[in-house]
Amino acid sequence: MRIDSLEVQNFKGFKRKNLNFSPHFNVLIGNNGRGKTAILDALAVGMGSLLLGFNNIGTRAIKEKDVRHVYRQTGDITSLIPQYPTYVECTWNMNHSKSIKWARSLNKSHGKTTRQYAKDIIQYGEQLQQKVTTGEPVVLPLLSYYSTARLWLQKKEKVDLLKPGSPTAGYMDCLETASNEKMLMAWIKTMEIEAAQRKRPLHILEGVRHAIKNCLEKCESVYFSIQLDGLIATFADGKTLPAYMLSDGQRTLLTMVADIAYRAAVLNSHLGEKAGLETPGIVLIDEIDLHLHPEWQRLIVKQLSTNFPKIQFIVTTHSPIIIQSLKPGEVINLNNEDIGDYYNKGIEDILEWVMGVENAVQSEGRLKMVAVAKEYYGLLEDAKKIAPEKREQLKARLDELSAPYSDNIAYHAFLQMKREVAGLGDNDNASC
């Protein structure tokens, strides 16, 4: 399963928006407030529609907070008017001869998200559920959403996974904002115990272990310590650390990759060690660069694509390093659909041409100093024709401009020298 196109109406900040997606990697970029996370939320509603065809699996409905509101001022009264219907439509081109289009909407306040226009995707989910029930061969698509709260917001309930369960347990909490790290760790612990009892490696566990090692920089091994009751990672520099002692970047990457690999293993355990490589599906990641060192940002897209080649990734980022690592057609710019040529370009070029950051090669402080110097020199030129009664006002403005740079001795002295040459020194009472 994948999503090839999305249309939203009255969804969060969008009155109407249409987007097309690559079948492999898609990176949404744009200024804050452009709706990157809103697009992921809409996609979660869309892909979650598949889960309506499964038994006892929660999904993502359109929420009241997803409804677009319009600001209105009537006399002294300010109001925000909700705009209905709020609508999400998705298209999946299954093959050359067949495509599925489905939609869900919220039509009124405190209403329920409709499903009558999502019958085709629900039916597809029901067919998958039927095959699971009867034991027919089936590859279940993976669905998962990793929000910006994925590291610090954890679900509180405990999950007992020591009992055998259905493959569809791989969909549990897959669209939740909060992570369910306890569920992940309980599964890994269970598999470690099972492997020890059988006295042989379990293929599905080895697949998860392999994905983690490949994505976590310089990681040589990872296992669940029964004695310490936690995940342990060893690195090329000889360090051995429990997961909770890793850096935020390492923990974020480890738990996310482990969760994707774990869900693939549970959904398609019959694929064994190749579950991660052979499982299709959709993964949404908000701020893929979250907590990652620039060197890791350079590699993360390739690592995810290599370890999960059949997954469609749709992610957001503010990182030019992420953009630099992408192939043509993988960037969706919500600021301006014409993103220009970014492939194999330098960081400064991407910042300026793709992300709209002017003078990216210079720091904000340096740009400010240049702007101050230009205004300062302009005022000195104006001093030649200024009326005498306005000299003190002019001096005050010059003082205001130079004051923030009093600790930069050379810069401050240069401004002061220019000022004295223009006859506007503190003790100079001569006319201009």
Is 108 part of a structural domain of the chain?
Answer: no
Q: Which of 9-23, 116-130, 172-186, 191-205 has the lowest mean pLDDT?
A: 172-186
Report pLDDT for 153.
57
- Output 179 or 2, whichever has higher pLDDT: 2
Is 397 part of a structural domain of the chain?
Answer: yes
**Torsions phi, psi for 78 (to 5 deg):** -105, 135
Contact 377, 418 (CB under 8 A): yes
Residue 62 vs residues 147, 153, 260, 314: alpha-carbon distances, Å: 17, 21, 24, 19
Residue 338 has pLDDT above 70, yes or no: no
Is 86 part of a structural domain of the chain?
Answer: no
Q: Where is mean pLDDT largest: 62-66, 364-368, 421-425?
A: 62-66
Is 132 part of a structural domain of the chain?
Answer: no
SS3 content of the chain, % helix, strand, coil (to 5): 45, 20, 35
Task: Read off the pTM.
Answer: 0.79
Per DSSP bridges, beta strands 311-316 and 281-285 are parallel
Give the mean pLDDT of the chain: 85
Count of the separate structural domains present in the chain: 1
Residue 195 has pLDDT above 60, yes or no: yes
Q: Which of 180-189, 240-249, 309-318 has the lowest mean pLDDT?
A: 180-189
Is 171 part of a structural domain of the chain?
Answer: no
Identity at 73, one-letter amino acid code? Q
Annotate 262-326 with DSSP letters as a single string: HHHHHHTGGGGGGHHHH--EEEEESSTTTT--HHHHHHHHHHHHHHSTTEEEEEE---HHHHHTP
Is 302 part of a structural domain of the chain?
Answer: no
Is 57 part of a structural domain of the chain?
Answer: no
Per DSSP bridges, beta strands 311-316 and 25-29 are parallel
Stretch 369-395: mean pLDDT, rounded?
76
Is 415 part of a structural domain of the chain?
Answer: yes
Contact 340, 354 (CB under 8 A): yes
Q: Which of 93-97, 102-106, 129-133, 384-388 has the lowest mean pLDDT?
A: 384-388
Banded pLDDT at 252 (limits 50, 70, 90): confident
Report pLDDT for 158.
47
Banded pLDDT at 430 (limits 50, 70, 90): very low
Residue 14 has pLDDT above 80, yes or no: yes
- Output 17 or 295, whichever has higher pLDDT: 17
For the chain, the residue count is 432
DSSP for residue 175: T
**Residue span of the structural domain in which 390 resides:** 364-421
DSSP for residue 400: H
For the purposes of burial, counting CB atoms within 10 Å of the CB of 70, is it exposed (0-12), middle (13-18) or buried (19 or more)? exposed
Report pLDDT for 86.
97
Contact 146, 285 (CB under 8 A): yes
